């Protein structure tokens, strides 16, 4: 090689390697605030910090799952949101002797690094490794920056903005399953058994990290085995054994999810920002929309902003991807990832899985995140293909360097905090001195409330200090106050019910969607100008205080002045105590059983029961009665004799009026148990007749001046909770109602979760982690890296 060309090549390599080092240092500089030890801003981030603290408490007891009182008055924690990420946070906390908040911040930086490394690793494994190192570095940098420069969705989970907003765990899991695919394919290429060990360990950790991402990972694996079916059919034994081991390691996750999946929150997020517009960047569109409001043409304004911002490169890649899609599918190395790319693009547009598969909600923006990761991995390959088709005019190396510089320019000027609408990623720096003082005063006021207080916050969909759950969650947790709301991912039945009842009280507040939708029926029974329904629901739920600050909250207090007592005022905030309704008829709880439970031995499903019982509560409140409605399930029939003394009466729901049902009710009447048969459809179709009949029946029941003994403190109902001295039943507020075996035990309420399952869960999770570490060690030891490939 001539000296001049050699010198040019050396300088080119120097530029590439220096660029690589500068990009790495820029990442460290851009996220240096994660090492300050300060509390972070963010939407869901404070909630995850609280969950990390709750996991630390369980871990120190030797448990991986358990019960937490922090949200919804109590809920089963980590049953449906696996805790491996919080385990890593705890390890960081332990090793460096730092707070959980600091450890969580460092874990966010670790996640960013892991995801970037995984993108480079899988791209290098399938496409780039045949290129020289300098080219591989350029391809990897452009791919990583392409993904981390994304700013379309904000909170919705994608890229840097999503990670710092609170979707860090799904991004961490995406990094894991990209590595899992690489380990699996390494076995296909070299048949080294240590690769299968790594695959088994990594796959197990995916399931212990994030269940929705585990479902996506399963889609990716299915696609992989279809594409490479010829090889895996020849190695079916290794494949079968691998999945047997995976199933063994993740058995606690699968068992607890499928056995208790019905208790998972039924919140469904369907809407997603338009994908292509999202890729071109929401900030570009926002600027164009703003310009159009001043009379400019929105299309022209959008194109100008697209060119000015440097986001035109995303439009270019989309166009090139379209023209090269056929070649990507035909190319052996890219066929698999291109198919995955198309599958997740479809999932990001289609809501079908969210409706077809019970209790599995495919959030479209999370599917979009997977799609965009694969898009970012394919992007450099598309550039290479495009350059090679015009290699006479387009030199590869200068083109790649130019693209990296453009991407690096975008990354330097990209401020993910802007999309959080915060002044600073540090919570204290984002707040004024007055706001911080107000926060401390509110904390002091909350600590003065009675022990075991459950408080209902007013949540506005806003990122201000006084807005969403990112403000309330740490405030209540630090004050030691139980929060009646929280992150909804694993909150059992209660969260799906409370959002319906909010329509009667806090209709201006932020509510999620839910499968249990009875608002229309409830509204049809609502009396004019009645505002107490929501308060009655909260009372039945064990909530005794409200807290808010908005003008709407002040108006609500005025409208409900006979039911609310202001106990503290601080700035715009008011803490109010919920009072019992005056001149109300209290009656002992009413048992509710469905005819199908008797005749067909069918379970009275929780959704069916909650809809029916809450409609009945509307009638009871309109008639001036206050009580709880208790579900009598198929499993309770054998214990009915023990349950009936704690009830005022029993109502049978039916639409058949069969002779067997009438005979069964007469038998109870003869024992002195008041009974009533109610047609199910009459609750909504014959409201006047139903109210009249119920009124006659209720007038026959004994009344009490005080109903406190019937409104015992309760937690979210969860079937696995057991009592050694009583029976735990589901009530109309999706809470547990405890009936003692004897009057002597009435004040000795003990309802607990079995600890064995928590210990097994933690043991299998740690075993999966150790297997992953073992695989990494074996990879470095030549003796264990033996191959079954033919020489």
Please tell me whether residue 262 adopts helix, strand or coil conformation.
helix
Distance in angstroms (rounded) separating the CA atoms of residues 203 and 201: 6
User: In this predicted structure, what is the pLDDT of residue 784?
Assistant: 47
Please say if the pLDDT value at position 151 is more than 70: no
Model pLDDT, residue 789? 45
Question: Which backbone phi and psi does 152 adopt, to 5 degrees?
Answer: -80, -40
153: pLDDT strictly greater than 80: no
In a domain, 639, yes or no: yes
Under the banding of pLDDT at 50, 70 and 90, the label for residue 361 is: low
Q: In this model, does residue 518 exceed pLDDT 90? A: no
Which pLDDT band, with edges at 50, 70 and 90, does 790 fall under?
very low
Tell me the mean pLDDT in the region 312-334.
87
In a domain, 35, yes or no: no
Band (741; pLDDT cuts 50, 70, 90): confident
Q: Are residues 359 and 500 in the same domain?
A: no
Residue 373 has pLDDT above 90, yes or no: yes
Q: Which helix (H) or strand (E) holds 757?
A: helix 755-780
Model confidence band, residue 226 (pLDDT cutoffs 50, 70, 90): very high
DSSP string covering 397-420, please?
HHHHHHHHHHHHHHHHH--GGGGG
Around Cβ 582, how many Cβ atoms within 10 Å?
7
Q: Are residues 659 and 625 in the same domain?
A: yes
pLDDT of res. 575: 94
Asked if 265 and 283 sit in the same domain, the reply is yes
Q: Are residues 197 and 299 in the same domain?
A: yes
- Considering the domain architecture, whether residues 171 and 240 belong to the same structural domain is answered as yes
Question: Does residue 68 lie within any of the structural domains?
Answer: no
Domains identified in the chain, total number: 3
Q: Which residues partner with 592 through β-bridges?
A: 631, 651
In a domain, 22, yes or no: no
- Coil vs helix vs strand at 667: helix
261 with 396, same domain: the answer is: yes
Expressed in angstroms, the distance from the first to the final Cα of the chain is 36
User: Would you put residue 542 in left (φ > 0), alpha (ψ -120 to 50) or beta?
Assistant: left
Q: Which of 523, 551, 578 is the last residue before a domain boundary? A: 578
- For residue 194, pLDDT over 70 is answered with yes
- 184 pLDDT more than 70: yes
pLDDT at 312: 86
Instruction: Indicate whether 174 pLDDT > 80.
Output: yes
Q: Mark whether 613 and 574 lie in a shared domain.
A: no
Alpha-carbon distances, residue 564 vs 259, 545, 578 (angstroms): 41, 9, 5
Q: Which residues contact 678 (CB under 8 A, 6 or more apart)?
A: 651, 652, 653, 654, 690, 693, 694
Q: Report the C-alpha gap between 151 and 457 in whole angstroms.
A: 31
User: How many Å apart are CA 127 and CA 135, to the nearest integer?
Assistant: 11
| Residue 353 counted as domain residue | yes
Please state, in angstroms and rounded to a whole number, the distance separating the CA atoms of residues 272 and 269. 8
Residue where one domain finishes, among candidates 560, 578, 596:
578
CATH number, domain containing residue 697: 3.40.50
Helix residue ranges, H only, 517-647:
519-525, 533-540, 551-559, 595-599, 606-622, 640-643
762 and 249 Cβ atoms separated by less than 8 Å: no
Other residues' Cβ atoms within 10 Å of the Cβ of residue 68: 22
Of the candidate ranges 68-72, 189-193, 306-310, 746-750, the one whose mean pLDDT is the lowest: 746-750
What integer pLDDT is reported at residue 545 of this predicted model?
A: 93
DSSP three-state, residue 465: coil
Mean pLDDT calculated for residue range 389-405: 80
What is the share, in percent, of the chain residues with pLDDT greater than 90? 31
What single DSSP character describes residue 527?
P
Q: For residues 455 and 468, give the distance between their C-alpha atoms in angstroms, rounded to a whole number.
A: 15
Please classify residue 622 by burial: count the beta carbons closer than 10 Å to its beta carbon, then call 0-12 exposed, 13-18 middle and 19+ buried: middle
pLDDT number for residue 260: 84
Exposed, middle or buried: residue 579 (CB in 10 Å: 0-12, 13-18, 19+)? middle
Same domain assignment for residues 692 and 726 = yes
pLDDT interval class at 227 (50, 70, 90)? very high
The boundaries of the domain holding residue 599 are 585-706+719-752
> Of the candidates 319, 326, 357, which has an alpha carbon nearest to the alpha carbon of residue 342?
326
**Better-scored residue on pLDDT, 78 or 20:** 78
Q: Which of 538, 556, 578 is where one domain is finished?
A: 578
In this prediction, residue 339 carries a pLDDT of 93
The residue among 396 and 31 whose pLDDT is bigger is 31
For the cut 60, the answer to whether the pLDDT of residue 791 exceeds it is: no
pLDDT at residue 186, rounded to an integer: 93
pLDDT of residue 591: 93
Residue 26 falls inside a structural domain: no
Q: Residue 99: its pLDDT value, please?
A: 93
pLDDT of residue 533: 87
Instruction: With respect to residue 604, please indicate whether it lies within any of the assigned structural domains.
Output: yes
SS3 track for 183-225: HHHHHHHHCEHHHHHHHHHHHHHHHCCCHHHHHHHHHHHHHHH
Please write the tens of the pLDDT for every residue from 645-690. Answer: 889 999 999 876 665 777 888 888 888 889 888 888 888 888 889 8
Residues 377 and 264 grouped into a single domain:
yes
Q: Which residue stretches of 100-192 are H helix?
A: 100-126, 133-148, 159-162, 168-190
SS (H, E, C) 5-26: HHHHHHHHHHHHHHHHHHHHHH
pLDDT in tens, 78-115: 988 899 999 999 999 999 999 999 999 999 999 999 99
Residue with the larger pLDDT of the pair 510 and 195: 195
Are 690 and 678 spatial neighbours (Cβ–Cβ below 8 Å)?
Answer: yes
pLDDT band for position 515 (cuts 50, 70, 90): low
Q: Which two tokens stand for residue 617?
A: 């509560």
Question: Does the structure show a pLDDT above 80 at 4?
Answer: no
In the structure, what pLDDT confidence band is assigned to residue 567 with cuts at 50, 70 and 90? very high
Nearest by Cα to 490 from 268, 261, 271: 261
Let me know whether 518 and 561 are in one domain: yes
Give which of 334, 313, 376 is closest to 140, Cα–Cα: 376
Q: Within this chain, do residues 407 and 494 fall inside the same structural domain, yes or no?
A: no
Q: Is 56 a member of any domain?
A: no
Mean pLDDT (the chain, rounded): 84
For the ranges 22-36, 224-238, 507-521, 706-720, the one whose mean pLDDT is highest: 224-238
pLDDT of 609 > 70? The answer is: yes
Alpha-carbon span 592 to 58, nearest angstrom: 36
With a cut of 70, say whether residue 267 has pLDDT above it: no
Tally of CA atoms within 13 A in the half-sphere of 520 that contains its CB: 4
- Together in a domain, 495 and 630: no
Is 465's pLDDT higher than 80? Answer: no
């Amino acid at each position: 090689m001539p000296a001049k060309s050699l010198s040019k090549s050396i300088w080119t390599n120097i530029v590439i390697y220096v660029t690589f080092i500068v990009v790495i240092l820029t990442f460290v500089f851009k996220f240096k605030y994660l090492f300050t030890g300060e509390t972070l801003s963010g939407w869901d981030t404070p909630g995850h910090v609280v969950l990390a603290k709750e996991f630390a408490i369980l871990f120190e007891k030797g448990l991986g799952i358990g019960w937490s009182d922090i949200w919804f008055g109590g809920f089963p924690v980590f049953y449906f949101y696996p805790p491996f990420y919080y385990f890593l946070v705890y390890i960081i906390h332990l090793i460096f002797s730092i707070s959980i908040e600091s450890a969580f911040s460092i874990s966010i930086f670790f996640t960013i690094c892991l995801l970037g490394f995984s993108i480079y690793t899988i791209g290098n494994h399938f496409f780039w490794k045949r290129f020289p190192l300098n080219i591989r570095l350029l391809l990897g940098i452009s791919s990583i920056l392409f993904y981390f420069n994304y700013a379309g969705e904000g909170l919705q989970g994608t890229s840097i903005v999503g990670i710092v907003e609170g979707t860090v765990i799904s991004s961490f899991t995406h990094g894991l399953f990209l590595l899992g695919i690489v380990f699996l394919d390494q076995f296909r290429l070299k048949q080294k058994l240590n690769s299968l060990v790594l695959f088994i360990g990594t796959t197990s950790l995916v399931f212990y990290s994030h269940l929705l991402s585990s479902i996506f990972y399963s889609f990716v694996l299915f696609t992989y085995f279809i594409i490479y079916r010829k090889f895996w059919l020849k190695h079916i034994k290794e494949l079968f054994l691998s999945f047997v081991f995976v199933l063994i390691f993740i058995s606690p996750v699968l068992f607890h999810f499928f056995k208790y999946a019905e208790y998972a929150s039924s919140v469904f997020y369907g809407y997603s920002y338009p994908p292509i517009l999202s890729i071109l960047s929401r900030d570009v569109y926002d600027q164009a929309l703003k310009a159009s409001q001043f009379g400019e043409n929105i299309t022209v304004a959008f194109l100008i902003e697209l060119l000015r911002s440097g986001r035109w490169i995303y439009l270019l890649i989309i166009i090139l991807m379209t023209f090269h899609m056929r070649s990507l599918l035909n190319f052996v190395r890219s066929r698999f990832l291109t198919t995955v790319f198309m599958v997740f693009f479809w999932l990001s547009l289609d809501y079908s899985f969210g409706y077809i598969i019970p209790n599995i909600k495919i959030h479209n923006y999370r599917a979009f995140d997977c799609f965009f990761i694969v898009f970012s991995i394919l992007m450099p390959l598309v550039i290479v293909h495009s350059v090679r088709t015009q290699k006479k005019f387009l030199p590869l190396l200068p083109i790649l360097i130019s693209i990296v510089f453009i991407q690096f320019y975008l990354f330097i000027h990209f401020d993910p905090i802007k999309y959080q609408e915060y002044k600073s990623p540090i919570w204290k720096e984002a707040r004024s001195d007055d706001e911080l003082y107000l926060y401390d005063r509110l904390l002091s006021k909350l600590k003065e409330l009675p022990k075991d207080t459950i408080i209902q916050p007013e949540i506005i969909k806003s990122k201000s200090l006084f807005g969403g759950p990112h403000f309330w969650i740490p405030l209540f947790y630090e004050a030691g106050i139980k929060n009646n709301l929280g992150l909804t991912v694993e909150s059992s039945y209660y969260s799906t019910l409370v959002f319906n009842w909010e329509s009667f009280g806090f209709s201006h507040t932020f509510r999620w969607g839910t499968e249990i939708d009875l608002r229309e029926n409830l509204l049809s029974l609502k009396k004019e100008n009645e505002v107490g329904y929501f308060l009655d629901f909260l009372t039945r739920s064990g909530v005794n205080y409200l807290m808010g600050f908005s003008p709407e909250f002040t108006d609500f207090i005025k409208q409900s002045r006979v039911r609310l007592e202001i106990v503290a005022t601080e700035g715009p905030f008011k803490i109010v105590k919920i009072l019992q309704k005056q001149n109300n008829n209290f009656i002992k709880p009413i048992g509710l059983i469905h005819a199908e439970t008797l005749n067909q031995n069918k379970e009275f499903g929780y959704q069916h029961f909650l809809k029916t019982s809450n409609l009945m509560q509307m009638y009871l409140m309109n008639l001036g009665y206050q009580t709880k409605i208790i579900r009598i399930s198929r499993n309770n029939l054998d214990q009915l004799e023990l349950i009936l003394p704690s009830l005022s009466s029993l109502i049978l729901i039916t639409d058949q009026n069969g002779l067997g049902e009438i005979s069964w009710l007469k038998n109870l009447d003869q024992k002195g148990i008041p009974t009533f048969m109610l047609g199910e459809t009459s609750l909504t179709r014959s409201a006047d007749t139903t109210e009249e009949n119920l009124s006659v029946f209720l007038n026959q029941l004994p009344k009490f001046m005080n109903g406190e003994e019937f409104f015992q403190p309760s937690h979210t109902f969860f079937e696995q909770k057991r009592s050694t001295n009583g029976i735990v039943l589901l009530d109309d507020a999706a809470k547990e109602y405890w009936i003692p075996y004897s009057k002597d035990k009435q004040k000795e309420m003990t309802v607990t979760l079995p600890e064995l399952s928590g210990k097994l869960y933690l043991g299998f999770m740690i075993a999966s982690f150790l297997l992953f570490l073992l695989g990494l060690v074996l990879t470095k030891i030549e003796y264990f890296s033996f191959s079954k490939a033919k020489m």
